[in-house]
Amino acid sequence: MLRRSSLRIALASLAFAAALPAHAGFWSSLIDTTPAGLARSSDDRPGDWASFWSDTRAGAEKIMSDGNSVWILPTYTNHPRWDWPQRSEENGWPMGMGLARGIIDEKGNERMLYLITFVDSNYRPEPMAGYTWVARWPLGNSGFHVGAGYLAGLTMRGDYMWAPVPLPLPLAKVGTDTVSFYGTWIPVTNVFFFFSTITLDDAKGRKMPLSPESPWVKTPNLLYGSWGWQYTDNGEKYSPSRVASDTVWNAGLRRYSGRSWQTDLKYSRSSHEVTRADGPGKNDLRIESYTLTLAYNMDWAKTFRLFAGAGFGYSKGETRYASDWSLHPALTLGFTWAAAENFFITGSMDTNFARFKGVLEDRGDGYTVRSMPTSFTIGAGLAF
């Protein structure tokens, strides 16, 4: 992913520098799109460079205070064939989760502060945080709109030694005020990244305390079990092994606390057939995981919530040949419906970054399975 990156960065920098004098108001227009511009417009004052950082802080605080909550689902990573002849070796499914706070300014433009973590092209966790600005144009009276703008922020990647990397990227979207689909192009690597969002109109409601009769207060504990399908991808450069996706079941204990938080302790178990890509050889890999996650809840209705969060996990991979254990990050995203006073229905997508070394027969002790197990489950439980 680093090939030709220096040349591309240089060309992009030259193009950007050449565009600066295109019109005299470039910097003023650019600042208007930042959080500082939001603060200045709301205060009806022009501002200057001396106050830029204080205005940026004020604008960010306004977005966090007055904006609506946004639930983010990383959706797809496209490695175009014209630049990625080995695209089958890269991960195209960025399983993960994200949260944001978004606001529509007086001009109808969208501004958003976001935090997102997903599985990158090399099957490692990639956190990203920053700000987006999008100008929107309605599509007649359909309720849909299209938009274009930019994404700015920082990310950290394993192939960059986990050093913070700045992200000035173009951004396009299509959707409604509630559901939207976004796409960006990463010029350094020639990769297209897509994500989806659900925006909840909760700017006022989340500032109000929960009623004592709220199910999240009255019955703050949930003992549940669920069942579903676990997606796996070995994630190796030359994919010498195929790890089959299969069913998974889990059991967990959840505790609701404060206005919007939940803590989950969860156990899951699954079994997968592993075959060689280049000939005979088969293993049955059993994965057991224990995870502890903290998630933020957004109220869609009084009895229905969306949540997204992260934590840590312990996983054990075992075959008849050997076993290995792994400590790893864990991501969770899902919903909970308080269907009755003591009966909740919950569903989630849970991603673990487990690594198992030396567990496959005839692969060698140095061979590591990076299965990236992601579970899609639905279940029910007793609330008390």
CA separation for the pair 235, 372 (Å, rounded): 8
What's the confidence (pLDDT) of residue 15? 43
CA distances from 133 to 245, 285, 308, 340, 376 (A): 38, 45, 23, 41, 32
Kindly report the CATH number assigned to the domain that includes residue 166: 2.40.160.20
Amino acid occupying residue 96: G
The domain boundary, picked from 203, 226, 241, lies at 203
CA separation for the pair 294, 292 (Å, rounded): 7
Within this chain, do residues 61 and 125 fall inside the same structural domain, yes or no? yes
Within this chain, do residues 188 and 262 fall inside the same structural domain, yes or no? no
Residue by residue, pLDDT tens for the chain (384 residues) are: 334 444 454 444 434 444 444 444 777 788 899 999 898 776 555 555 558 888 999 999 999 999 999 999 999 998 887 877 777 777 889 999 999 999 999 999 999 999 999 999 888 899 999 999 999 999 999 999 999 999 999 999 888 889 999 989 999 999 999 999 999 998 878 899 999 999 999 999 998 999 999 999 999 999 999 999 999 886 555 556 778 899 999 999 999 999 999 999 999 999 999 887 665 567 789 999 999 999 999 999 999 999 999 999 999 999 998 999 999 999 999 999 999 999 999 999 999 999 999 888 777 778 888 888 999 999 999 999
The range of the structural domain enclosing residue 362 comes to: 213-383
CA distances from 215 to 172, 209, 256, 347 (A): 39, 13, 10, 17
Within this chain, do residues 189 and 227 fall inside the same structural domain, yes or no? no
Domain-located, residue 342: yes
What's the confidence (pLDDT) of residue 255? 98
Within this chain, do residues 153 and 70 fall inside the same structural domain, yes or no? yes
What's the confidence (pLDDT) of residue 7? 43
Residue 272 in tokens: 């997968």
Please give the positions annotated as active site.
79, 120-121
Within this chain, do residues 170 and 64 fall inside the same structural domain, yes or no? yes
Domain-located, residue 230: yes
Integer Rg of the chain from CA: 23
What's the confidence (pLDDT) of residue 317? 95
SS3 of the chain: CCCCHHHHHHHHHHHHHHHHHHCCCHHHHHHHCCHHHHHHHHHCCCCCHHHHHHHHHHHHHHHHHHCEEEEEEEEEEECCCCCCCCHHHCCCCCCEEEEEEEEECCCCCEEEEEEEEEECCCCCEEEEEEEEEEEEEECCCCCCEEEEEEEEEEEECHHHCCCEEECCEEEEEEECCCEEEEEEEECCCCEEEEEEEEEECCCCHHHCCCCCCCHHHHCCEEEEEEEEEEECCCCCCCCCEEECCEEEEEEEEEEEECCCEEEEEEEEEEEEEEEECCCCCEEEEEEEEEEEEEEEEEEEECCEEEEEEEEEEEEEEECCCCEEEEEEEEEEEEEEEEEECCEEEEEEEEEECCCEECCCCCCCCCCEECCCCEEEEEEEEEEC
What's the confidence (pLDDT) of residue 3? 41
The domain boundary, picked from 169, 203, 237, lies at 203
Within this chain, do residues 77 and 166 fall inside the same structural domain, yes or no? yes
The domain boundary, picked from 203, 232, 262, lies at 203
Within this chain, do residues 265 and 348 fall inside the same structural domain, yes or no? yes
Within this chain, do residues 195 and 233 fall inside the same structural domain, yes or no? no
Q: pTM here? A: 0.89
What domain count does the chain have?
2
What's the confidence (pLDDT) of residue 329? 96
What's the confidence (pLDDT) of residue 223? 98
Within this chain, do residues 47 and 171 fall inside the same structural domain, yes or no? yes
Within this chain, do residues 192 and 289 fall inside the same structural domain, yes or no? no
Within this chain, do residues 136 and 246 fall inside the same structural domain, yes or no? no
CA distances from 1 to 98, 123, 127, 233 (A): 24, 13, 18, 19
Domain-located, residue 208: no
Within this chain, do residues 123 and 189 fall inside the same structural domain, yes or no? yes
What's the confidence (pLDDT) of residue 159? 83
